[in-house]
Amino acid sequence: MLTKSKPSWSISENLITPESAFKNRRAILKTIGISSILTTISPNVVGSAVASTGGLNPNLFSAKRNLKYELDRPLNTEKDVTTYNNFYEFGSHKLISKDAQKLQTKPWTVTIDGMVEKPIIIDAHTLISKMQLEERLYRFRCVEAWSMALPWTGFPMRDLVKFSRPLKKAKYVVMETFMNSAIAKGQKQFWYPWPYREGLTIGEATNELALIGVGAYGKPLPKQMGAPLRLVVPWKYGFKSIKSIVRFSFTDKRPVSFWETVQSEEYGFWANVNPKVPHARWSQETERVLGGGGKRIKTLIYNGYEEQVAGLYRNLKGESLYY
Ligand code: MTE
């Protein structure tokens, strides 16, 4: 169990990484072959591989599984996970996977700004190629009381925070999804506060579990799941895991997220999974497993990740931590 007593937003010294360390890491990636793969095979082969993976080198996605994260349940099939999605930009129902293909994910620019040493504007694929990818098997729990388990490919959000070089006074990181109502028809629904926005404390963003997902099932992330990069915070309800991110902003003010703006009594900032705290519309005691023929299983506190995250919240008295 963690016995962290520091506030969850405080930035630890070792997060401020000197640029030289990143340059070093790039050099390591080069040595292990990420760039040499591109130069040793014929241009035609590279051309077709790039076309089928949205411009990314497919070898980046055969990332090694991190065996620390075990599951207590079977994995869902790729079909379960890629055909039942919440992505309100493409409609307020689950069958958006076809419409989401309209999203153009290359080029994709990511802005890192706010309380950082220097704002960064970077192509998403360049950003991803600077990071050490790994595979993790995680549970995922939606506040609507359905759940799944899947293999993500991604990199620790902690590495993104380091890369961003936040100032000491930054306490939160706010993330935003793209805006383009010409292809994302849901964004024409003016009663929603677009763009989709979410936030974490720095302590949460640098917790070992927080992942920036760039793939699933050993492949680049499908568009309906939030390509080219999304958040994965498995101890929180699914709405915190914002998709198709274009911006990371560091701030000292707690952000108000998309769903909190819509209905603050039902969707709060923390949204940690707790079977004992019902949502206004869904009991959280059990969950329906996707593809499980209606089977329900008991929901676990922090979705089973209590050991890794409970310490983040121990000193937060008077906060609504569970919706
Ligand atoms: N991110 C954006 N940009 N738009 C959304 O509508 N829905 C959230 C979250 N991230 C959403 C989003 C909700 S409510 C859930 S449950 C998860 O994405 C669903 O992720 P999945 O479709 O990959 O299962």
Please name the residue whose Cα sits nearest to atom 19 of ligand 1. Answer: 86
Rg (CA), the chain: 19
Q: Where are the domains of the chain?
A: 16-309
pLDDT of residue 8: 41
Dihedral sign computed on CA atoms, order 236, 240, 244, 249: negative
Cα–Cα dist 176/160, whole Å:
15
Q: How remote is the CA of residue 240 from the centroid of ligand 1, in Å?
A: 8
Q: Strands 245-251 and 109-114, how do they pair?
A: parallel
Structure tokens at 44: 């035609």
Please provide the size of the chain in residues: 323
Give me the DSSP letters along 234-295: TTB-GGGS--SEEEEEEESS----HHHHH-TTTS-S--B--TTS--SS---SEEEETTSTT-
**Residue to substitute in 82, 86, 211 for testing ligand 1 pocket (most ligand atoms within 8 angstroms of CB):** 86
Structure tokens at 56: 């990314």
CB neighbours (10 Å) of residue 12?
Answer: 11
Please name the residue whose Cα sits nearest to atom 14 of ligand 1. Answer: 239
Residue with tokens 């009991």: 283
In ligand 1, the atom with minimum distance to the C-alpha of 144 is: 16
Please name the residue whose Cα sits nearest to atom 17 of ligand 1. Answer: 238
Report residues whose beta carbon is within 6 angstroms of any ligand 1 atom. 85-89, 142, 177, 196, 225, 238-239, 241-244
pLDDT of residue 62: 73
CA dihedral 322, 193, 240, 97 (to 10 degrees): 130
Question: Three-state DSSP class for 7?
Answer: coil
User: Which positions of the chain have pLDDT values less than 70?
Assistant: 1-60
Q: How remote is the CA of residue 87 from the centroid of ligand 1, in Å?
A: 5
Cα–Cα dist 323/264, whole Å:
9
**Residue to substitute in 241, 263, 266 for testing ligand 1 pocket (most ligand atoms within 8 angstroms of CB):** 241
Q: Would residue 45 be called left, alpha or beta, if left means φ above 0 and alpha means ψ between -120 and 50 degrees?
A: alpha
Tell me which CATH code domain 16-309 carries. Answer: 3.90.420.10
Q: How remote is the CA of residue 14 from the centroid of ligand 1, in Å?
A: 32
CA dihedral 195, 246, 250, 309 (to 10 degrees): 90
